[in-house]
Structure 1
């Protein structure tokens, strides 16, 4: 057993991090872990944090069985701080709290480790607040920042960090992890890993949740159903409605619990009128919950578009006669039909339209408008 067991398909990155955790001469105070979604950035960051705190007597840090390893992986080690925002951005107040945490001496471990899983979600002003602590950290403090790419972090930050790049793991490695860790049937695990394009978290969800598989099938079916502009408009509205419903279902129960806990802490009951000095706290909670729901909706829509991209990738593979496996083998009929009814040039234009829609969503364009433009571009031409 090792803390690195779930960092799949990353032998080079694991080697670098293992050496740093085991050899002080190879250690540095700030790290930037980069890699595409699903590459396991946050998993690698937590494994690295555990290896830094490991008290086992093995030749390589990160035994996975000592108290320091298990509590770090569980997120309960007193010298570990993790920020993984569920909102659109990490706020400047959250970063100031991190800086205060970084200034404290480790309580029980070798290091105080600060992991920022969404370093790309900091505005420039927020990042500048963090800069001095990254540049001149207190002794025994280690920063581990995670982002999709080095370009997603300001040059002033990345120039002060040691970069470790992760790659998309092979689907077979992800499937093996699902079989070993979650007891998933090997055939189902491989299909889920391929459909998730090796994103470990999504693959696990697809393998274990039939409803998630059904929703993904419905998204892919959009490509087959769009025959004209009216179909495109309806499909866009359907995708947005599904994303809103999923975001609501994922956050509604938690929102209610948080509101009840806050009201109880304020000594107020449900439906009771709060005095003005307490209303601001309730409004702050509601604003945070709205931002969390917005982030969730965007993530669901972006995943839907990634799934559509994977379908048109398969269409292009068939059109070009490439000798590679399909991502969506269970939708081979739809893939062949789309390949037969279009040209490779049209397929590439459709993929470009999906990419533009993703960029527009990231730029805060209204989701329905972005998806309507995309869906219209997916309709048959000529």
Structure 2
């Protein structure tokens, strides 16, 4: 864990002592500060939390906890943070970031631009940032976050300092979940293991029995796939459940955003939307649709991550390492599958899962992608 001596704003950062040391030093010593940073680490490793803590240390004067808390809450005028809820970061969003980068700090020591989903930039969008990263204005610091530096263009990577985060151990994540939520140790350990040490996902699994049940139902269904009919049926069920989850996550927020916009525009509750403001309402609805698409694809990607873990366990068993299973609860079924399949077939399925995840990022229809994947699972098609 972070050293007890580390003051705010670093208190919220967990399990990244070396990264905290590097960034604290950079915030305190201008000679160690680089104009652009890329924080990389696996999902759940705390990239965004660390980026915000770094921004707080840069913007606020040492010891100014009020300003630090403002930055951490995302309300400080010298912080600009982008966390897209859509499939990709749009080029107009990138242009707005660049515009903000050329503003002088208003009340803080630096202006900080945080891009939490830098891996979701297309090549065209990335090129918008290049000049700002190459010739940054004085007192502006860029902090990009991504799972891997390979997710960004070489031209971007050459203009940033890369800081790699460590991946926490299952026991460490479980202990943190117990501390944060008060769940029992067994549930916390299982959730940390199933989430593959992703802290946010582990916390959700530990505190949401329905989420644990959905995961169990999905993996059990996939393990029962034996033919094309099964594959089509299970693929449809996965998409249906993911769609319902996405709607549940976004419906209430969509309604509140629409009501707030109409109030701001002076439209009475229940009244028809005047023609003069329809374009603004339509723009909001378009953003909400893109967010719903992202939420659905993220939900399906979580399922695919679980399937990768499942078949990773199979290949582990096929190579004689039965003490290192992520899905210990399925040990009997996994051993049967490991005996029935060849390692080549398991590796083919793992490759297809990776291809399916990549295809979904390219807007392939989720149902067709999952049907194709599960047909491979069912009958062992070789690409």
User: Alpha-carbon deviations, 1:25-64, whole Å to 9, x = none?
Assistant: 110111111222222211221121122235445xxxxxxx
Q: Show the counterpart of 1:95.
A: 94
Q: What is the deviation of 1:266?
A: 2.4
SS at match of 1:82: strand
- Give the alignment partner of residue 41 of structure 2, picking from 19, 35, 42: 35
User: Alpha-carbon deviations, 1:198-223, whole Å to 9, x = none?
Assistant: 11110110111111111111121122
Q: Is the 8 Å Cα contact of residues 36 and 149 (structure 1) preserved in structure 2?
A: yes
- Give the alignment partner of residue 52 of structure 1, picking from 49, 58, 70: 58
**1:18 pairs with 2:24:** yes
Q: Is the 8 Å Cα contact of residues 37 and 199 (structure 1) preserved in structure 2?
A: yes
User: Alpha-carbon deviations, 1:172-216, whole Å to 9, x = none?
Assistant: 222222223333333222211111001111011011111111111
SS at match of 1:379: helix
Q: Is the 8 Å Cα contact of residues 8 and 169 (structure 1) preserved in structure 2?
A: no
Q: What is the deviation of 1:118?
A: 0.9
**Whole-Å separation in 2 of the counterparts to 1:123 and 1:301:** 21
**Whole-Å separation in 2 of the counterparts to 1:119 and 1:110:** 24
**Whole-Å separation in 2 of the counterparts to 1:141 and 1:103:** 8
What is the TM-score of this pair, normalised by structure 2?
Answer: 0.91
TM-aligned CA distance change 1:118 to 1:276, over 3 Å: same
**1:4 pairs with 2:3:** no
**1:294 pairs with 2:293:** yes
User: Alpha-carbon deviations, 1:225-278, whole Å to 9, x = none?
Assistant: 201110000001011111111111100111111111222222334564434332
Q: How does 1:267-306 map to 2 (within 5 A)?
A: 267-269=266-268, 272-306=271-305
Q: Show the counterpart of 1:225.
A: 224
TM-aligned CA distance change 1:5 to 1:221, over 3 Å: farther
**Whole-Å separation in 2 of the counterparts to 1:11 and 1:213:** 31
**Whole-Å separation in 1 of the counterparts to 2:68 and 2:178:** 23
Q: Is the 8 Å Cα contact of residues 99 and 133 (structure 1) preserved in structure 2?
A: yes
Q: Show the counterpart of 2:165.
A: 166
Structure 2: 5+ residue stretches without partners: none
Q: Show the counterpart of 2:233.
A: 234
Q: How does 1:1-382 map to 2 (within 5 A)?
A: 2=7, 3-56=9-62, 66-269=65-268, 272-322=271-321, 324-379=323-378
Q: How many residues align?
A: 375
Q: What is the deviation of 1:303?
A: 0.6
TM-aligned CA distance change 1:183 to 1:106, over 3 Å: farther
Q: What is the deviation of 1:80?
A: 1.5
